[in-house]
Copies of this chain bind each other. A is one copy, B any other.
Amino acid sequence: MEFSAQQIAAALGGQVEGNAEEKISFFSKIEEGRPGSLTFLANPKYKEYIYSTQASVVLVNEDFVAEKPISATLVRVKNSYSALAQLLSIADQFMNPKKKGIDSLACISPSAKIGKDAYIGPFAVIGDNVTIGDGAQIYPHAYIGDNVKIGNNVTLYSHATIYKNCLVGNNVIIHAGAVVGSDGFGFAPDANGVYQKIPQLGNVVIEDDVEIGSNTCIDRSSMDGHTTLHKGVKLDNLIQIAHNVTVGENTVMAAQTGIAGSTHIGKRCMFGGQSGIVGHINVCDDTVMAARAALSSNIKEPTALQGNPAFKASQYQRSYVIFKKLPEMMKQMNEMAKEIEALKAKLSE
């Protein structure tokens, strides 16, 4: 399918600057733009590419000021990244229409209730007393344990597992191989150092608009209470969320992050990849952790953190600059020590 710059501007409520009849049929990145594609400029870091891009149409923010001539047609919009997301969503609906129908090879308990317009793929398993809302996309091999409740418009990709008794809200996406509700890591050592399992009797609650990446693991709570991902949380791949953790609304975590048991995380936090947090602490709203940060104490006001253990990122970076020079610093100190000795000798002459 092809669209003109004019059609795109109309759909987005934007203004065309240049050839309104310019046609595009695919998306590209500004630095790799090809003729016939639409791209966007949001990150100022990429500004220089707008003057050389081969893309036919570029979405820019309303207040963008060109410093040189631009050969592409511009479409000015309030927020170019959001506008792009909107266009991609439309494209996505065309390119990836929802699947429909309940496959005869799915295994669905007679006591399960499934809403309308659902897709249930072959070899999916849906346990006893499960409830699934409308518009579900349950891919092949997904496993939904007994008594699980799932809202509307939820997608479970292949090999996603939800253990029994867990609750999942509306518009949740769970990617392939993710595990929701496995046992928390709880053991009581006896006098001989042998570990006795503490049964994990709780569950996981996933609120609306959460997305969970591939092979990410979220353990069920140990007894009373829940492991909870609040509304709008986005987790990347291979993340570990231990038992009894709560993650506040709209907090996002990059891949391979791990949160130990009973830690409570605020809203709108952003955690870089491979970061980690110990158990039993509180992390306030709007906390930021650099990739690989390892937090081991409560955070009471919004801070950007780095290091192991993590402290203020700007201070970590200052200390690290000197860490890199430690051998020279040691050498200088040894020279100073000699000079002091020389001064002492001279003074006692």
Residues of chain A at the chain B interface (Cβ within 8 Å): 26-29, 32, 34, 37, 79, 81-82, 84-85, 88-89, 91-92, 95-96, 103, 105, 107, 121-123, 125, 139-141, 143, 145, 157-159, 161, 163-164, 173, 175-177, 179, 182-183, 185, 187-188, 190, 193-199, 201, 209, 211, 213-215, 217, 219, 223-225, 232, 234, 236-238, 240, 242, 244, 250, 252, 254-256, 258, 260, 267-268, 273-274, 276, 278, 291-292, 294, 296, 308-309, 311, 315, 318-320, 322-327, 329-330, 332-333, 336-337, 339-340, 343-344, 346-347
A254 to B107, CA, bound (A): 35
A91 to chain B, nearest CB (A): 6
Q: Which of B198, B244, B250, B268 contacts A85 (CB 8 A)?
A: B198
Q: How many copies does the complex hold?
A: 3
CB–CB B238/A217 < 8 A: yes
- Most chain B CB inside 10 Å of its own CB: which residue of A122, A199, A329: A199
Which residues of chain B come closer than 8 Å to A185, judged between CB atoms? 213, 234, 236-237, 254-255
Q: Which of B27, B121, B252 contacts A201 (CB 8 A)?
A: B27
CB–CB B214/A179 < 8 A: yes
Q: Which of B183, B237, B318 contacts A327 (CB 8 A)?
A: B318
CB–CB B123/A125 < 8 A: yes
Given contacts A177-B159, A344-B339, contact A294 B320 (CB under 8 A): no
CB–CB A177/B28 < 8 A: no
A105 to B196, CA, bound (A): 34
A-B contact pairs, 14 of them (CB 8 A): A28-B224, A28-B225, A29-B223, A29-B244, A84-B198, A85-B188, A141-B159, A157-B161, A193-B267, A215-B238, A236-B242, A322-B326, A322-B327, A323-B326
